[in-house]
């Protein structure tokens, strides 16, 4: 598929990488719906999109929101053939941690576990299910889903919840690739390392410097560099079921 053929939903498209994906897709001639909780930031993306970007407020963890998103996006764009599952959150913490002085054991809360699983795993499940059902119902011959995972998929200390969600998303990328191929739906995943987004920009410079020392290429990725991988998955009609790590060599 060419970018100019795409009618794409970008979840979490109001900020960070999702915003870049929406803008780059629009620049390449695609029509885009950003789906996010943050209406004010979505309005900014729509204004910057010069008529190619629309917005639908959606909580990807809520079934009724996702059903309305897929129908609404199809209607707004006069069709639909791509989905970028990008919305994500993190609530980091160790599984258990003993305080050296008091001996008290702090635990990752069930709320922190559930919140991350809901947005980062249930969200892509609901969006992919509804998207695939729409592709089949409308007889769309070719379509593509890109799941934004993370190198935390390999298991990252302090991210019990996030690592589980991002690894689960890669497992589902493989099986959705298998299950959906017969309907002309391709599925790929991208696992970024450190990316220069508001999360990173908000870190203490010395902490950030320490983190980046572990990256063979010695820097964070620009969101546009992650988009290059997203673009490959969208454009390469022979790619499905796999995850591409774009991490500057961090997990080598």
Active-site residues, by number, are: 162
Per the document, the length of the chain is 252
Contact flag: residue 119 with ligand NAD (CB under 6 A): yes
% helix, strand, coil for the chain, step of 5: 50, 20, 35
Q: What's the burial of 207, exposed, middle or buried (CB within 10 Å: 0-12/13-18/19+)?
A: exposed
Contact flag: residue 121 with ligand NAD (CB under 6 A): no
Considering the complex, state which of residue 168 and residue 192 has its C-beta at the smaller distance from ligand NAD: 192
- Site stretch for ligand NAD (CB under 6 A), options 9-17, 70-78, 134-142, 176-184: 9-17
Among 6, 9, 11, 83, binds ligand NAD (CB under 6 A): 11
- Whole-angstrom distance, CA of residue 22 vs CA of residue 99: 44
Among 3, 67, 68, 89, binds ligand NAD (CB under 6 A): 89
Contact 73, 84 (CB under 8 A): no
- Whole-angstrom distance, CA of residue 49 vs CA of residue 184: 29
Among 197, 229, 230, 246, binds ligand NAD (CB under 6 A): 197
Q: How many CA atoms lie within 13 A of 42 on its CB side?
A: 19
Contact flag: residue 160 with ligand NAD (CB under 6 A): no
Structure-token match 């003993």, residue found: 98
How many other C-beta atoms lie within 10 A of the C-beta of residue 218?
10
- Whole-angstrom distance, CA of residue 199 vs CA of residue 196: 8
H helix intervals, 118-251: 123-137, 160-180, 198-201, 205-213, 223-235
Considering the complex, state which of residue 85 and residue 240 has its C-beta at the smaller distance from ligand NAD: 85
Contact flag: residue 14 with ligand NAD (CB under 6 A): yes
Contact flag: residue 148 with ligand NAD (CB under 6 A): yes
The residues pairing with 138 across neighbouring beta strands, listed in sequence order, are none
Considering the complex, state which of residue 128 and residue 197 has its C-beta at the smaller distance from ligand NAD: 197
Considering the complex, state which of residue 11 and residue 140 has its C-beta at the smaller distance from ligand NAD: 11
Closest approach of ligand NAD to the CB of residue 104, in Å: 30
Residues 201-230 that bind ligand NAD (CB under 6 A): none
Contact flag: residue 108 with ligand NAD (CB under 6 A): no
Contact flag: residue 37 with ligand NAD (CB under 6 A): yes
Considering the complex, state which of residue 15 and residue 140 has its C-beta at the smaller distance from ligand NAD: 15
The SS3 of residue 159 is: strand
Please give the structure tokens belonging to residue 137: 């119902």
Query: What does the binding site for ligand NAD look like in residue numbers (CB under 6 A)?
Result: 11-12, 14-18, 36-38, 58-61, 86-89, 119, 148, 150, 192, 194-195, 197-200
């Amino acid at each position: 598929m060419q970018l100019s053929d795409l009618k794409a939903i970008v979840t979490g498209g109001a900020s960070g990488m999702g915003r870049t994906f929406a803008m780059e897709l629009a620049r390449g001639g695609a029509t885009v719906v950003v789906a996010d909780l943050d209406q004010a930031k979505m309005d900014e993306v729509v204004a910057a999109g010069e008529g190619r970007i629309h917005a639908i407020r959606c909580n990807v963890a809520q079934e009724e929101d996702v059903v309305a998103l897929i129908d609404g996006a199809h209607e707004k764009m006069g069709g639909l053939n791509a989905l970028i599952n990008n919305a994500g959150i993190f609530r980091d913490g160790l599984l258990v941690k003993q305080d050296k002085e008091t001996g008290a054991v702090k635990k990752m809360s069930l709320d922190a576990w559930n919140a991350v699983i809901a947005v980062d795993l249930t969200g892509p499940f609901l969006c992919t299910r509804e998207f695939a059902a729409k592709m089949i119902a409308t007889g769309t011959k070719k379509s593509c889903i890109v799941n934004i995972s993370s190198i935390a998929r390999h298991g990252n200390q302090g991210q019990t919840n996030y690592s589980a969600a991002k690894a689960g998303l890669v497992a589902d990328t493989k099986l959705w690739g298998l299950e959906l191929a017969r309907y002309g739906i391709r599925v790929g995943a991208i696992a970024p390392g450190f990316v220069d987004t508001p999360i990173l920009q908000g870190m203490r410079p010395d902490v950030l410097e320490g983190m980046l020392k572990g990256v063979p290429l010695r820097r964070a990725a620009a969101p546009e560099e992650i988009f290059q991988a997203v673009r490959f998955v969208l454009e390469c009609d022979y790619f499905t079921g796999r995850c591409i790590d774009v991490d500057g060599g961090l997990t080598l």
